Amino acid sequence: MKVRVRVLPLGKDLNLKVGANLRSALIEAGVPLDSPCGGQGTCLKCKVQVSGVTEKLTELEREKLSAEELDHGWHLACQVTVEESGEVRLPEIEVSRAKAGFGLLGEEIPLQPNVRRRHFELSSPTINDQRADWNRLAEYLEASEPVPVRAELSLLQEISERLREGNFQGEAVLVGDEVVALDPPDVAEDVLGVALDIGTTTLAAGLVDLDTGKIVALDAELNPQITFGADVISRIMYTQDGSEKRENLQKEVIKGLNQLLLRMCRSAKRERERIFEATVVGNTTMLHALLGLNALHIALAPYVGGLNRALCVPAEELGLQIHRRGRVHILPSIASFVGADTVGVILATRLHQTKVPRLAIDIGTNGEVMLATNDGVLTASTAAGPAFEGGRIKFGMRAIKGAISSFQATPSVDYTVIGGATARGICGSGLIDLVAELFRAGVLDRKGRMLLPSEAGASLATDLAARVRVRGEEREFVIFKNEEREVTLTQQDVRELQLAKGAIRAGIELLMKEAGISTDDIQEVLLAGVFGNYINREKAVTLGLIPPFPLEKVHFIGNGAMDGALRALLSLEERRWADEISAQVHHIELSGRPDFEETFLRCLALGN
Amino acid sequence: MKVRVRVLPLGKDLNLKVGANLRSALIEAGVPLDSPCGGQGTCLKCKVQVSGVTEKLTELEREKLSAEELDHGWHLACQVTVEESGEVRLPEIEVSRAKAGFGLLGEEIPLQPNVRRRHFELSSPTINDQRADWNRLAEYLEASEPVPVRAELSLLQEISERLREGNFQGEAVLVGDEVVALDPPDVAEDVLGVALDIGTTTLAAGLVDLDTGKIVALDAELNPQITFGADVISRIMYTQDGSEKRENLQKEVIKGLNQLLLRMCRSAKRERERIFEATVVGNTTMLHALLGLNALHIALAPYVGGLNRALCVPAEELGLQIHRRGRVHILPSIASFVGADTVGVILATRLHQTKVPRLAIDIGTNGEVMLATNDGVLTASTAAGPAFEGGRIKFGMRAIKGAISSFQATPSVDYTVIGGATARGICGSGLIDLVAELFRAGVLDRKGRMLLPSEAGASLATDLAARVRVRGEEREFVIFKNEEREVTLTQQDVRELQLAKGAIRAGIELLMKEAGISTDDIQEVLLAGVFGNYINREKAVTLGLIPPFPLEKVHFIGNGAMDGALRALLSLEERRWADEISAQVHHIELSGRPDFEETFLRCLALGN
């Protein structure tokens, strides 16, 4: 028997045998796990943080791991026997070792961050060399910097003490051309950066050691703004009552980010004060909310935001709790509904450098479609709505423990629940599986109508027929039921999925039409998004979410937006690419096209 | 009979006949007074603010001037009959009309300020042109800017409303490459800048209309930091008890500047919020105090400050109440005791471009000496002390109403009191006159000893001899005495002046020695400083404050430091010159020279 184990931060799913040794299984699957002792339990380097997978602790683990580590689910991979599905989180991923296919920075990126450490050894002042402290340091640094260096007042206010404490030697930390910190010599303090992805539903963060390029923590959190509305339009509308509403929205997301950073730094045993830069992607509305900008005109035709360019803001001005002189670099957006998250996906997938037609789809609350050809990249935004993230679905939930994440109707009803627990709801990938399988099995017709046994005819398996019922006015399909609870898929749920599916598929169709190419021309299809890896490719085709591509052309890239933010954190060249992408990618406003409505209505139908 | 009238902001002193018409007298003296009606009292353009000069108001003035104007001493120059000495302040000076000799910007400066107004007319967003608001504006401006434009978050937070209020047209105000304000179209709001000179004793400010280059107000105020010590060393020592002391010092000077700006703007009927940039000069310690930097190491050998480079700081960070996104540009300094004020004097006098030897002396609490030759500019700082500003002098006071500002001993004792009032004390120019005249008359000997009649011998005039007396242990010279009060010059006062004089003269001697030139080689001598214009050149030579230059070589330039700050406000090229001066001027540390002590002791003696 096999269970599914997700490996984080890679976002890679493995099907592992129950009873397998976790360390061996991970290494066999190519996961870069550090375990120089070969699994003897002596090097203690194969620590992983586990959720599900096992419920046992060995004697060795009890002895070698701290109480805090045990509390947080840490195990030694060599001691773990796989028992059930779940998640395994690796402590550190060295970028250069994270190869293509893991969905996270699938290639080596030369380390060229905006945050740099510079060692200095200054001559001490004498009566014959009375240069002021800042002049002395700046001249030293400028001997090998391309441009003059700068400093904020707060650093200048402490420079005289700092230089004398270190006897005029030490380490300067620069963000761009600005000296932001002075460390004493011989004290190896961290230089960290963080990549942030601000989604409508989820905040994700990747903490990076900028000396090594290692990702030292990767974590996510619900966007607390969700209490002000599940989608971007409802949040924009919330802010229109007064500017304090805009501040509320801003405060909530900052609070969420600060909590996330605090938790990550605690678990990685790092200091938030040593994070010198944050790179940020997100959809345009979320970036407006983060910055306290009025996003009203994003929601009103002709859909124009306040800012699509990249922006650098002092972290202190936003209230982001990193180093007091740390900077926040917001990546540029493309249009009001094609944000910096899409720029991140393009950056991560190299669509902007492609020679052959390639298609990428980032599925979240909005679905962004990107089509690259030799003539450049086209993008479109489609209003997928929150269905894929569990929104407006009766038993919808995020992909956490208790969520039905995959489903099959034949030969008999079977499904997987995350964490191996009792089913509590349905996450995005489960929803796609359900609708695709029920359509294939004849429970749903092409128009998405749920058929009663009498309507479906004799071909419908008895087992399936028995699960369709009518409650009140509405038809529903019972997936799970025990004495305490049940989980069903309603007719309305199917309609919600159709809207989402139809929007995305219409975007794909119209971009192909605009570029003058057909399904056959496309050489690669990339599925991105927080839950991208969970989608069953075959069922996405069955459903008609994507055109009938050969499955070998379809790849999952995980959270490509986060990859883009990480790239911009690790390399200034990537950051320049991002600006170029923002300026050069051609956005197609679907609602402005005369053929949009017809295409959308046609794409609502299930199947290919 | 003639009285002395000082014309501000020019700093020019005129000797006017009692009974003269003020308008005619000013025009005759070349003062650029606007009065197109020719003195008929109809154009109302010759408004001046008067202190002293007259106590009368004509019927026409009562009728034409507002109650507030009358309260603040405004008159129509054509209606004023000169009755007594005092001050006349002109409302506006157009830079291009303020010619050499007035001591303020003595040449035309091409207007090329860092603060610029840019008209914009943007195309309105459409479904086919969905550029975000900031992108739209930035692209428009960048079509004719040399570098990409920037904006702070607070501007971006209001850009959507601002652009729509003006129907996508208006005026952008830029400071450097940053858009700091968006004005609606067809509303001619001011674009102002202010030049600030932060002296140990005095804060001076010049408010400039940057559209026209006109100086619209010029004012000065006691530096409120004076309560923490009269000289820079005592203020540095005050701050060493804790960082809150440094904050106190910073707060005091900011408070003083804000009061000064408020007063100036009120009198000039301008808004502080329309000041977009301040340029700042001052001695290095005062600039450290302004910025909250620790100046301790300025006071300790080898006398090294925290910062001598130019610095640009948001006004909001300093608490300076100008536009909320206004910037403060601190001019660079040369050394710990040769500050941005000296850079300002060099800029104003063009010493850095001179081909022939020229000497400049800026006399304040410290005396900076600058010697320019074909080989470059040498500077030295001399610890003149506060004597010239009335400090440590028994009856010392600033040059305000009641101060004895000039003195002669022969043929009989005579002196001038500012404002024509009863004498209350002695200001710097009066002190120089007194010591020079008493030395020439034989009351003081070459060593500065005050002689009793018995010691002075028969050549001493009886009138003078009778004024010398001994009080307690100390000899003193009685200048004025009535039933209520008296004003005297004490032996100790003479000693204080000798220290100041000796320090400055030693600086001149040592720079000439360093440059290998003699008194005869020097083609021009420029005296700068707040009270520079009041010094009697002949008496400065008699005293030995300066070497025996022919008087025609000696010129007064008024507050040259302020001129430099104004230049940097009006022209970016001047600002670049300032940086070059700071980097290239060669500072001579007098205390490091073996010949300093001998020279200083020799220079203490009176006479040449």
Q: Which of B130, B134, B591 sits opposite A335 (nearest CB)?
A: B130
Q: Is A431 helix (H, G, I), strand (E, B) or coil?
A: helix
Chain B contact set for A304 (CB, 8 A): 125, 130-133
Q: What is the pLDDT of residues A315-327, one digit of tens each?
A: 999 999 999 999 9
- More confident call, B605 vs A238: B605
Q: Which of B134, B135, B306 sits opposite A156 (nearest CB)?
A: B306
Please name the residue that has the structure tokens 């083609």: B523
- Of the ranges A221-230, A328-337, A490-499, B255-264, which one carries the lowest mean pLDDT score? A221-230
Omega within 30 of 0 (cis) for the link into A411: yes
- Of the ranges A102-106, A226-230, B36-40, B393-397, which one carries the lowest mean pLDDT score? A102-106
Question: Residue A142 is encoded by which pair of tokens?
Answer: 């400028």
b/e map of B306-344 (b: 16 or more CB within 10 Å)?
bbbbbbebbbbebebbbbebbbbbbbbbbbbbbbbbbbb
According to the model, what pLDDT value does residue B100 have? Answer: 27
- Distance of alpha carbon A132 from alpha carbon B333, whole angstroms: 10
Verify whether the Cβ–Cβ distance A309 to B132 is below 8 Å: yes
Q: What is the pLDDT of residues A510-549, one digit of tens each?
A: 999 999 999 999 999 998 875 555 678 899 999 999 999 9
- Distance of alpha carbon B196 from alpha carbon B280, whole angstroms: 5
Stretch B66-85: mean pLDDT: 89
Angle at CA A540, nearest 5°, toward A539 and A546? 145
Verify whether the Cβ–Cβ distance A306 to B333 is below 8 Å: no
Chain A contact set for B128 (CB, 8 A): 589, 592
Stretch B489-514: mean pLDDT: 96
b/e map of B523-557 (b: 16 or more CB within 10 Å)?
ebbbbbbbbbbbbbbebbbbbbbbbebeeebbbbb
Verify whether the Cβ–Cβ distance B308 to A160 is below 8 Å: no
Q: How many residues belong to chain B?
A: 608
Stretch A141-168: mean pLDDT: 95
Task: Using the predicted structure, report yes or no on whether residue B279 has a pLDDT greater than 80.
Answer: yes
According to the model, what pLDDT value does residue A93 have? Answer: 47
- Distance of alpha carbon A439 from alpha carbon A445, whole angstroms: 6
CB atoms under 10 Å from CB of B109, counted, come to 19
Task: Using the predicted structure, report yes or no on whether residue A328 has a pLDDT greater than 80.
Answer: yes
The dihedrals phi and psi of A327, each to the nearest 5 degrees, come to -120, 150
According to the model, what pLDDT value does residue B101 have? Answer: 31
- Distance of alpha carbon A43 from alpha carbon B408, whole angstroms: 95
**pLDDT range class, residue B36, cuts 50, 70, 90:** low
According to the model, what pLDDT value does residue B99 have? Answer: 28
Task: Using the predicted structure, report yes or no on whether residue A576 has a pLDDT greater than 70.
Answer: yes
**Strand bridging mode A275-282 / A192-198:** parallel
**pLDDT range class, residue B267, cuts 50, 70, 90:** confident
**Strand bridging mode B425-426 / B403-408:** parallel
> Least CA distance to B337: which residue of chain A?
A130
Stretch A162-166: mean pLDDT: 95
Task: Using the predicted structure, report yes or no on whether residue B565 has a pLDDT greater than 90.
Answer: yes
**pLDDT range class, residue B233, cuts 50, 70, 90:** confident
Distance from CA of B402 to the nearest CA of A (A): 42
Stretch B448-469: mean pLDDT: 89
Give the helix ranges, DSSP H, for A239-372.
243-268, 284-291, 296-299, 315-318, 340-349
Q: What is the pLDDT of residues B48-65, one digit of tens each?
A: 889 889 988 899 899 888
- More confident call, B9 vs A571: A571
Task: Using the predicted structure, report yes or no on whether residue A169 has a pLDDT greater than 90.
Answer: yes
According to the model, what pLDDT value does residue A10 have? Answer: 64
Helix axes B243-268, B284-291, angle to 10 degrees: 100
> Least CA distance to A313: which residue of chain B?
B153
- Distance of alpha carbon A160 from alpha carbon B243, whole angstroms: 13
pTM of the full structure: 0.81
Stretch B520-546: mean pLDDT: 84
Task: Using the predicted structure, report yes or no on whether residue B104 has a pLDDT greater than 70.
Answer: no
Give the CA diameter of chain B. Answer: 102
Q: Which of B133, B307, B591 sits opposite A132 (nearest CB)?
A: B307
According to the model, what pLDDT value does residue A100 have? Answer: 27
Task: Using the predicted structure, report yes or no on whether residue A66 has a pLDDT greater than 90.
Answer: no
Count Cβ atoms within 10 A of the Cβ of residue B278 and give its class: 0-12 exposed, 13-18 middle, 19 or more buried: buried
Count Cβ atoms within 10 A of the Cβ of residue B374 and give its class: 0-12 exposed, 13-18 middle, 19 or more buried: exposed
Verify whether the Cβ–Cβ distance A291 to B587 is below 8 Å: no
According to the model, what pLDDT value does residue B398 have? Answer: 74
Count Cβ atoms within 10 A of the Cβ of residue B518 and give its class: 0-12 exposed, 13-18 middle, 19 or more buried: exposed
According to the model, what pLDDT value does residue A101 have? Answer: 31
According to the model, what pLDDT value does residue A531 have? Answer: 53
Question: Residue A572 is encoded by which pair of tokens?
Answer: 């200034």
Stretch A72-80: mean pLDDT: 90
Q: What is the pLDDT of residues A451-466, one digit of tens each?
A: 998 898 878 888 899 9
Which residue, among A320, A321, A346, A324, has the nearest Cα to A333 in the 3D structure?
A: A346
Distance from CA of A409 to the nearest CA of B (A): 45
Which residue, among A433, A422, A412, has the nearest Cα to A531 in the 3D structure?
A: A433
Sequence-distant (≥ 6) Cβ neighbours of residue B296 within 8 angstroms: A160, B236, B239, B240
- Distance of alpha carbon A293 from alpha carbon A305, whole angstroms: 9
Task: Using the predicted structure, report yes or no on whether residue B30 has a pLDDT greater than 70.
Answer: no
- More confident call, B193 vs A459: B193
Question: Residue B342 is encoded by which pair of tokens?
Answer: 């000296």
Stretch A139-150: mean pLDDT: 95
Helix axes A340-349, A560-570, angle to 10 degrees: 80
According to the model, what pLDDT value does residue B67 have? Answer: 85
Q: How many residues belong to chain A?
A: 608
Q: Is A281 helix (H, G, I), strand (E, B) or coil?
A: strand
Stretch A121-130: mean pLDDT: 94
- Of the ranges A493-497, B384-388, B401-405, which one carries the lowest mean pLDDT score? B384-388
**pLDDT range class, residue B93, cuts 50, 70, 90:** very low
Verify whether the Cβ–Cβ distance B308 to A587 is below 8 Å: no
| Cβ contact B538:B433 at 8 Å | no
Give the helix ranges, DSSP H, for A269-396.
284-291, 296-299, 315-318, 340-349
According to the model, what pLDDT value does residue A11 have? Answer: 63
| Cβ contact A604:A498 at 8 Å | yes
Please name the residue that has the structure tokens 């011989």: A186
Verify whether the Cβ–Cβ distance A160 to B128 is below 8 Å: no
b/e map of B55-87 (b: 16 or more CB within 10 Å)?
eeebeebeeebeeeeeeebbbbbbbbebbebbb
DSSP-assigned beta bridge partners for residue B183: B171
Put simply, whether B159 touches A (Cβ < 8 Å) is yes
DSSP-assigned beta bridge partners for residue A52: A86
Which of B160, B239, B240, B284 is the best mutation test for A, with the most CBs of A within 10 A?
B160
Q: What is the pLDDT of residues B304-335, one digit of tens each?
A: 999 999 999 999 999 999 999 999 999 999 99
User: How many Cβ contacts (< 8 angstroms) between chains A and B?
Assistant: 133
- Distance of alpha carbon A92 from alpha carbon A48, whole angstroms: 10
Stretch B487-492: mean pLDDT: 96
Put simply, whether A77 touches B (Cβ < 8 Å) is no
- Of the ranges A352-361, B87-96, B273-282, which one carries the lowest mean pLDDT score? B87-96
Q: Is A167 helix (H, G, I), strand (E, B) or coil?
A: coil
Put simply, whether B579 touches A (Cβ < 8 Å) is no
Put simply, whether B571 touches A (Cβ < 8 Å) is no
- Distance of alpha carbon B571 from alpha carbon B576, whole angstroms: 9
Q: Is A432 helix (H, G, I), strand (E, B) or coil?
A: helix
Verify whether the Cβ–Cβ distance A134 to B306 is below 8 Å: yes
According to the model, what pLDDT value does residue A31 have? Answer: 67
According to the model, what pLDDT value does residue B335 have? Answer: 93
Task: Using the predicted structure, report yes or no on whether residue A251 has a pLDDT greater than 60.
Answer: yes
What average pLDDT does chain A have? 89
According to the model, what pLDDT value does residue A107 have? Answer: 57
- More confident call, A323 vs B217: A323
According to the model, what pLDDT value does residue A442 have? Answer: 93
- Distance of alpha carbon B192 from alpha carbon A480, whole angstroms: 73
Cα of B421 vs its chain's centroid, Å: 25
Instruction: Tell me the torsion sign for CA atoms A124, A129, A134, A136.
Output: negative
**pLDDT range class, residue B603, cuts 50, 70, 90:** very high
- More confident call, B158 vs B13: B158
